[in-house]
């Protein structure tokens, strides 16, 4: 029997490993939504992840490309750049990581539009595969990876509302050759688009000026991916993110922001054999028909079907909604403390965790760090660290002006 080292590692890394709490769930209840290129769903930056994966309506920053690119139109600075690094699944291996480079630039003198771009690279490290069950056999070493590169444009449509669009190219290179059959799994590529909106206002509560914002981001609407020339086709992790954020002053130079995000994968549920009577020809026929429909379904049809196709009905559809809420305290735009919680229903993966983080900002450079504490101690996502280093263009200009 062929060794499954390669397959298991890919499943662990790409599915982000649903927590070990699965063992406490009956098989007929556990039914996560399956997608390809799952790494596109991993938050790249320390700020958003330290608030429990929150960012649809928070204040604009250099990493808004992932959370809600329409926020760039309301950014205060002329432009900036952010570099993020995450050692992924470090409780299991030490050579899997996610690196992300994001930035934006405001266009024109009207300050109402911006262009943005990002590049993310996910390395699965070094993987050894063999085709023998006992004696060793042929062994090959591969270095699977995935990357995505995108560019976006955002514009204010009014003093309080903006929208943005992002075009993305995705490559998932998990290719390897079966040394017994000679069959090669090819790299898979795809194109996708994001559409987002952002609203912000500054209501007066008592004598204090506060900020209320809401936003949405529909991400990764695009083509399917296939590693075998089209026999099996997988949906991208198309996601709907809705969020709201409220920031208010505590005292001079002290503010506190509270945020809430809701997430739902706009991907139809993959058929399961356990939902059919596979001991009868009729049950097998029904399953094969359902699988063929899922495999050949267009991404747009899948988006609409994702709201009504769960085997458990409306109750299970509600279980597919993930919740993130968090808070950010800041002092004089220089010191930041953050905390949050992310909840995913146990039947849909159970990747629930607390998050904490802090940041320090100077005129030009800002450093953020976050720490993840999973609710299940056996979860490989526990103790995940993220680091983000950002550079502000306005601060750099001021610094250069002073030197002159």
Q: Give pLDDT, residue 14.
A: 45
Q: What is the DSSP string of 132-158?
A: -SSS---EEEE--EEEEEEEEEEEESS
Q: Which tens digit of pLDDT belongs to each residue from 67-126?
A: 999 999 999 899 999 999 999 887 777 788 999 999 999 998 778 999 999 999 999 877
* Percentage above 90 pLDDT, the chain: 59
Mean pLDDT calculated for residue range 343-359 = 92
Q: Which tens digit of pLDDT belongs to each residue from 28-60?
A: 688 889 898 999 999 999 999 999 999 999 999
Q: Which of 192, 207, 288, 180 is nearest to 237 (CA)?
A: 192
Q: Which residue has the higher pLDDT, 239 or 131?
A: 239
User: What CA–CA distance (Å, rounded) separates 120 from 100?
Assistant: 4
CA atoms within 13 A of residue 102's CA, in its CB half-sphere:
27
Q: Which of 295, 284, 291 is nearest to 228 (CA)?
A: 295
Q: Give pLDDT, residue 154.
A: 97
Q: How many CB atoms are located within 10 Å of the residue 206 CB?
A: 7
pTM for this predicted structure: 0.88
pLDDT surpasses 70 at 177: no
Domains and CATH numbers, the chain: 8-269+306-403 (2.40.160.40)
**Please, are residues 199 and 211 in contact by the beta-carbon 8 Å criterion?**
no
Confidence of residue 183 (pLDDT cuts 50, 70, 90): low
Residues 6+ apart with CB under 8 A from 392: 77, 80, 363, 364, 365, 366
User: What CA–CA distance (Å, rounded) separates 99 from 192?
Assistant: 20
Residues 6+ apart with CB under 8 A from 246: 210, 211, 212, 213, 257, 258, 259
| Mean pLDDT, all residues of the chain | 86
H-helix or E-strand spanning residue 292: helix 281-296
Residue 13 CA, chain-centre distance (Å), reads: 14
Burial of 258 (0-12, 13-18, 19+ CB in 10 A): middle
pLDDT surpasses 70 at 165: yes
* Percentage above 70 pLDDT, the chain: 83
Q: Give pLDDT, residue 311.
A: 86
Confidence of residue 357 (pLDDT cuts 50, 70, 90): very high
Mean pLDDT calculated for residue range 273-299 = 89
Q: Give pLDDT, residue 94.
A: 79
Q: Which tens digit of pLDDT belongs to each residue from 383-401?
A: 889 999 999 987 666 656 5
pLDDT surpasses 70 at 9: no
Residue 359 CA, chain-centre distance (Å), reads: 21
């Amino acid at each position: 029997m062929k060794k499954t080292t390669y397959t298991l590692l890919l499943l662990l890394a790409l599915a982000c490993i649903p927590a070990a709490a699965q063992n406490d769930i009956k098989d007929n209840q556990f039914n996560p939504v399956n997608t390809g290129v799952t790494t596109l769903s991993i938050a790249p930056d320390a700020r958003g992840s330290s608030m429990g994966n929150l960012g649809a309506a928070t204040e604009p920053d250099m990493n808004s490309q992932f959370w809600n690119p329409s926020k760039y139109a309301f950014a205060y600075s002329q432009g900036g750049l952010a570099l993020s690094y995450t050692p992924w699944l470090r409780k299991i291996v030490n050579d899997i990581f996610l690196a992300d480079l994001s930035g934006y630039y405001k266009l024109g003198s009207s300050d109402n539009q911006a262009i943005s771009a990002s590049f993310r690279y996910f390395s699965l490290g070094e993987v050894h595969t063999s085709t023998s069950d006992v004696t060793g056999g042929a062994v090959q070493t591969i270095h699977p990876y995935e990357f995505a590169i995108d560019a976006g444009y955002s514009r204010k449509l009014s003093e309080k509302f903006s929208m943005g669009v992002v075009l993305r190219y995705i490559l998932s290179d998990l290719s390897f050759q079966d040394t017994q059959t000679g069959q090669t799994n090819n790299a898979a590529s795809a194109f996708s688009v994001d559409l987002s909106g952002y609203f912000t206002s500054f209501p007066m509560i008592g004598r204090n000026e506060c900020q209320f914002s809401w936003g949405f981001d529909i991400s990764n609407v695009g083509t399917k991916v296939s590693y075998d020339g089209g026999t099996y086709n997988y949906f991208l992790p198309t996601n709907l993110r809705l969020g709201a954020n409220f920031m208010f002053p505590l005292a001079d130079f002290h503010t506190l922001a509270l945020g809430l995000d809701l997430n739902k994968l706009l991907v139809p549920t993959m058929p399961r054999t356990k939902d059919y009577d596979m001991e009868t020809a009729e049950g097998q026929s029904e399953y094969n028909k359902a699988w063929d429909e899922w495999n050949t379904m267009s991404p747009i049809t899948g988006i609409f079907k994702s709201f009504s196709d769960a085997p458990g009905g409306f109750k299970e559809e509600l279980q597919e909604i993930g919740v993130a809420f968090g808070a950010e305290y800041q002092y004089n735009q220089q010191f930041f403390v953050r905390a949050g919680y992310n909840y995913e229903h146990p039947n849909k993966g159970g990747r629930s965790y607390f998050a904490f983080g802090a940041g320090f900002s100077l005129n030009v450079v800002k450093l953020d760090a976050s720490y993840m504490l999973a609710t299940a101690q056996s979860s490989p996502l526990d103790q995940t660290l993220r680091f983000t280093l950002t550079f502000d263009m306005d601060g750099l200009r001021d610094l250069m002006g002073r030197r002159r």
